[in-house]
Structure 1
Amino acid sequence: MRKTLLALASTVLLAACGTTEAPVTEEAGPSGSPSAATRISVTDSRGKQVTLDRPAAKVVSLEWAETEMLASLGVMPVGAADVKGYGVWDTAAKLDASVKDVGTRQEPSVDSISALQPDLVVMEAERDSALVAQLEKFVPVLVTKGSDGTDNFKRLRDDLTMIATAVGRTDQATKLLTDLDAALADGKEKLAAAGAAGKPFAMADGWKQGSTISVRLFGKGSLVSDVAERLGLKNAWTGKVDEQWGLGTTDVEGLTALKDPETRFFYNASDGEDVFADGLASNAIWKSLPFVKKQQVTKLPPGIWTFGGPLSCRQYAEALVKAYAG
């Protein structure tokens, strides 16, 4: 499993969720440049007001969720962090070949970003604040919250709406969210009809270091848990999770806490390293788990990003419905 997974549970507590002010109709000032009345103002997760003369058209994204959101809004980023990795882990919104790679998500290249002369850079809150200061010397930076264990579904909507306002695509954002709500309502009906309402589920990914296999559970407060709960399912993992991402780490022994025989276990292995099917195939503890014995283990289709935008959430919801309702 990619080392970047180990960094996803790190948190930085930042004040205020992103809020937006609707843009007004553009009018030119006396000099031909946009007047003050045409500017777009967006208050990001730092509580900072980011003002643009006009909707941003040349945008660089430094996280996959925001890259997906931009592409799904119809704004293809001019640059993005780890384009190759995005193609593996997030298939919800394809990127054009024109999108330039600006380095890793952990250490994007400031020079590569600057060379693209963007109107706006979008990044998540947990990244190094020193990077924000470097970028703001030459481009406005919009910082999303990225995750919020108290209500990740609302956070998703807020982040998308904030980005959409900055790029002048609020109508598209409304449609994405309306379509997501409709898909979840439809999925909930299908699960109920299949007798799966209230059924327990567990969602995880895993990685191997040497002979040790670590398992990361998506507990209550994670985005995929919020999505599953809106389908009428119940998260079976009640172990400790972090406050921002809703993630908890354990090992195969820790999975013995999932005792309910009705539990269905889902996992993600988009990069091809399948520690559950391969690394644990002969593990006696793994084979003794109720959901393994009952063959209630489901590998998600490759490319469903569990920290993504509305389209990723729809992909995940569809996979859950298919597993329970056929």
Structure 2
Amino acid sequence: MAAATDGGDRPRVAAIDWGQAQTLIALGAPPVAMAQIDAYQDWVGVPPVPDSVRELGLRVQPNMELMSQLDLDLITITPMYASSRARLEAIAPVETIDVYYHEGSAWDNTVESTRRLGALVGRADAAERLVADTRRTVETAAERVPAEAPRLLVVQFMDARHVRVYGEGSLLDDVMTRMGLDNAWTGSTTFWGFALVSLERLAEVDDARMAVLDPMPVGVAEEIDGSVLWNHLPAVRQGPVLDLPAVWSFGGLPSAARFARALADALSAPQVAGTPDS
């Protein structure tokens, strides 16, 4: 399929992966359809999905009948959804674009995937602008971080006793490095740059500040509020805990920019930037 040129008619694309969907929206070439729009609003958040985008159902089991009716030129996936490729190819050409499935940093691969998506939809210039704007956003956010910023434990709750903690190999860790921030998690991580650990494991980390990403599973906030274990973790006792918005960590420059801004906002808040009460 030949890509449209900037300013011309765009190809009709369906996006199964959220990182690709958010990138297409940010490029000004939103997909015709994407999967799990309501959940995207909770887990990704930015940019918002235009009302014109059709709902495809589950990412792992998209609505094939609907896609077959949309006169699609292209479907984009990551290797995570490779099992659906044969069925999707019966509807339209499929392009696999990945961030975590080949060598290179998550940041560099996210930049590369942005450029590939831009080329596919005839928005190469917009892709370059998005890359440049994201770099500037991260640099500007870094300038707002206090000189004595603490080491950070960045976590996302799975339930009241288990979290994903982000470390080496993740897009979030790459953003922190670019901001001059130290990641307190030096333990092993999965393919995607996080470790699924119990709260007890976090007790091993001293001299750090806790940062918690939304969304919080239903009922968990109330449970941890009264949890002796949580409230006695060194990174929580350093306080206050940094509450961060939802950030999709699996690729997407809009998420990298959102994370950088959120960190800068949280770290420069008066109650954080000042000396904690003893």
- Normalised to the residue count of structure 2, the TM-score between the two structures is 0.88
Change (3 A) 1:224 1:274: farther
Instruction: State how many pairs are aligned.
Output: 263
Over residues 286-312 of structure 1, what are the superposed CA-to-partner deviations in whole Å (9 max), with x where a residue is unaligned? 2212222232311213x4333342122
Corresponding residue SS for 2:161? strand
Match of 1:318 among 254, 261, 266: 261
Q: Please tell me whether the aligned partners of residues 196 and 233 of structure 1 are also in contact (alpha carbons under 8 angstroms).
A: no
The 2-side partners of 1:89 and 1:130 are apart by 23
Over residues 258-281 of structure 1, what are the superposed CA-to-partner deviations in whole Å (9 max), with x where a residue is unaligned? 112xx1211122266363x42222
The 1-side partners of 2:16 and 2:48 are apart by 16
**Residue of structure 2 in register with 1:73 after alignment:** 27
Match of 1:146 among 99, 103, 112: 99
Superposed counterparts of 1:195-274, under 5 Å: 195-196=147-148, 199-208=150-159, 213-242=161-190, 244-260=191-207, 263-270=208-215, 273=218
Q: Which amino acid aligns with 2:99?
A: G
Structure 2: gaps spanning 5 or more residues = 5-9, 270-278
The 2-side partners of 1:223 and 1:132 are apart by 26
The structure carrying a bigger helix percent of its residues is 2
Q: Please tell me whether the aligned partners of residues 153 and 235 of structure 2 are also in contact (alpha carbons under 8 angstroms).
A: no
Q: Please tell me whether the aligned partners of residues 78 and 99 of structure 1 are also in contact (alpha carbons under 8 angstroms).
A: yes
Structure 1: gaps spanning 5 or more residues = 1-51
**Residue of structure 2 in register with 1:112 after alignment:** 66
**Residue of structure 1 in register with 2:231 after alignment:** 287
The 2-side partners of 1:101 and 1:271 are apart by 24
Change (3 A) 1:273 1:228: farther
Root-mean-square deviation over aligned CA pairs = 1.9
Q: Please tell me whether the aligned partners of residues 150 and 221 of structure 1 are also in contact (alpha carbons under 8 angstroms).
A: no
Structure of greater Rg: 1
Corresponding residue SS for 1:121? strand
Query: Where does structure 1 differ by over 4 angstroms across 4 or more consecutive aligned residues?
Result: none
Over residues 115-139 of structure 1, what are the superposed CA-to-partner deviations in whole Å (9 max), with x where a residue is unaligned? 1121110111111x33111222231
CA drift at 1:325:
2.0
**Residue of structure 2 in register with 1:177 after alignment:** 131
Change (3 A) 1:164 1:274: farther
Match of 2:83 among 108, 124, 130: 130
Q: Please tell me whether the aligned partners of residues 60 and 121 of structure 1 are also in contact (alpha carbons under 8 angstroms).
A: yes
**Residue of structure 2 in register with 1:15 after alignment:** none
Q: Please tell me whether the aligned partners of residues 68 and 308 of structure 1 are also in contact (alpha carbons under 8 angstroms).
A: no
Change (3 A) 1:115 1:271: farther
The 1-side partners of 2:12 and 2:65 are apart by 16
Over residues 22-48 of structure 1, what are the superposed CA-to-partner deviations in whole Å (9 max), with x where a residue is unaligned? xxxxxxxxxxxxxxxxxxxxxxxxxxx
The 2-side partners of 1:60 and 1:168 are apart by 15
CA drift at 1:203:
0.9
Q: Which amino acid aligns with 1:196?
A: E
Name whichever of 283-292 and 156-165 sits farther off.
283-292
Superposed counterparts of 1:8-47, under 5 Å: none
Q: Please tell me whether the aligned partners of residues 184 and 317 of structure 1 are also in contact (alpha carbons under 8 angstroms).
A: yes
- 1:97 is the counterpart of 2:57: no
Change (3 A) 1:272 1:251: closer
The 1-side partners of 2:222 and 2:64 are apart by 40
Corresponding residue SS for 1:207? strand
- Normalised to the residue count of structure 1, the TM-score between the two structures is 0.76
Over residues 149-186 of structure 1, what are the superposed CA-to-partner deviations in whole Å (9 max), with x where a residue is unaligned? 85000010011111100001011111111011111122
The 1-side partners of 2:164 and 2:185 are apart by 11
Corresponding residue SS for 2:119? helix
Q: Please tell me whether the aligned partners of residues 196 and 324 of structure 1 are also in contact (alpha carbons under 8 angstroms).
A: no
**Residue of structure 1 in register with 2:2 after alignment:** 53
